[in-house]
Structure 1
């Protein structure tokens, strides 16, 4: 059902927006044809059925110098929208996990591609990091081993300040849900001083006083009563005195059924 809606959308949108729709449609089509042991589903089977696929996982191993910033990224597509939690040596990474758990539960009708990044600044010997991905009753896990790398050249002053720059650590690359739903688009950030988060709507306007859209202190964007006209790319930008980072989420409103 959702793929049918997306095909219809390409005929109604401008060329640039159609290109974005087509990009994500290709991803959804590839996933729909690869789940369930690579058995292609019937042509009219809905992508809304429950599934979970890891689309990017950390490398098997990393060598890390303490004080440098190592970014571990997990990327997953699922229905409903997946949440990602990090563990170090089988124990939750508490500071990060608190932020992850603050995300409002995703709607059962949703489908999303979630990107989550863990920033590692310290290592001791050999540590095993895992990302645990939840989507409804389904779970998936990816694991990497981080080894300490001793010696090397001294860190530059710029590298020492690097952890203070804004880093968007949880976001959706794309999000699909039924028209009329209340949705939450995450934009979890790290940085010091705390980065300021600015959201822009699908027309590029800064979201300030829209009665249906509200930016929470935690960085999420809440959109009430999703409309067809909300289709397009929303962007969040995290900024502090050391720099900025931008993340984009393509939103698909879909008809129920």
Structure 2
């Protein structure tokens, strides 16, 4: 009788241990499931290409005889857009030569760009069109120029004036480690000198990573975080000088 009681007691203790052990295992499984949920990470969205006209020239404007007219377009785009100016639907060769040379455009670039067209002479009703393009996407703005009297082309051509920076980036975001070219294209009726100041307001000269190109553009090799800030292009001729700054933001890829 005593042996039977002892056997029953031992059996009950053994069953209790099994239940407790199972509870502990189940509790650990529940805890692990809570700590390690099987959830897929959310993929990062990629910025698609775009172009936007931020500021367009007026729909119509009057040209004062003997005074050059400046038409301005401000656009934003990804990658960096290119600009063409047309006169009565035809490409302006002078503008193409001075401002629309091929730039090294990186696909990661996001740019706000300022472009200007200097109109020295025009016939009444001439149309000038700013065409901003990124890939197959375009934005267009057209200005009609009105004149009140005949103009002397030689008088307008040789009128003393300071240079005009007709093509530059106001802001650029681009991946670190890439090569970036900051345009600085100039229109001047007399020979002009172009120089750049870096983001520490120091003259760029003899720098192994930064070089002023014959076109006036600034080339920065292997863009680094320390390059963040304003780079300033200055154009100077015998009548004065003008400057334009580009804010560079190196983006971590």
Distance 1:159 1:132, change over 3 A: closer
Of residues 175-184 and 186-195 in structure 1, the stretch that sits farther from structure 2 once superposed is 186-195
| Structure with greater Cα Rg | 2
Runs of 4 or more, structure 1, over 3 Å off, are 157-160
Partner of 2:32: none
Gaps of 5+ in 1: 1-43, 152-156
Cα deviation for residue 140 of structure 1 reads: 1.0
Please, which of 212, 219, 222 is the counterpart of residue 222 of structure 1? 219
Partner of 1:100: 99
Partner of 1:172: 169
CA distance in 2, matches of 1:169, 1:101: 10
Partner of 2:118: 119
Partner of 2:243: 246
| Deviations, residues 37-70 of structure 1 (Å, cap 9, x unaligned) | xxxxxxx755x42111100101010111332111
Partner of 2:132: 133
Partner of 2:13: none
Q: Partner of 2:159: helix, strand, or coil?
A: helix
Cα deviation for residue 124 of structure 1 reads: 1.0
CA distance in 2, matches of 1:97, 1:159: 18
- TM-score, length-scaled by structure 1: 0.76
Gaps of 5+ in 2: 1-43
CA distance in 2, matches of 1:191, 1:70: 13
- TM-score, length-scaled by structure 2: 0.77
Are the aligned partners of 1:83 and 1:100 in contact in 2 as well (CA < 8 Å)?
no
Distance 1:131 1:200, change over 3 A: same
CA distance in 2, matches of 1:212, 1:107: 17
Are the aligned partners of 1:65 and 1:123 in contact in 2 as well (CA < 8 Å)?
no
Of residues 142-151 and 173-182 in structure 1, the stretch that sits farther from structure 2 once superposed is 142-151
| Deviations, residues 116-148 of structure 1 (Å, cap 9, x unaligned) | 000001011210110111113311111110011
Aligned length: 208
Query: CA RMSD of the aligned region, Å?
Result: 2.2
Please, which of 188, 193, 196 is the counterpart of residue 191 of structure 1? 188
CA distance in 1, matches of 2:122, 2:159: 18
Aligned positions of 1:52-131 closer than 5 A = 52-131=51-130
Are the aligned partners of 2:54 and 2:75 in contact in 1 as well (CA < 8 Å)?
yes
Q: Partner of 1:161: helix, strand, or coil?
A: coil
Q: Partner of 1:95: helix, strand, or coil?
A: helix
CA distance in 2, matches of 1:191, 1:60: 26
Q: Partner of 2:140: helix, strand, or coil?
A: strand
Partner of 2:142: 143
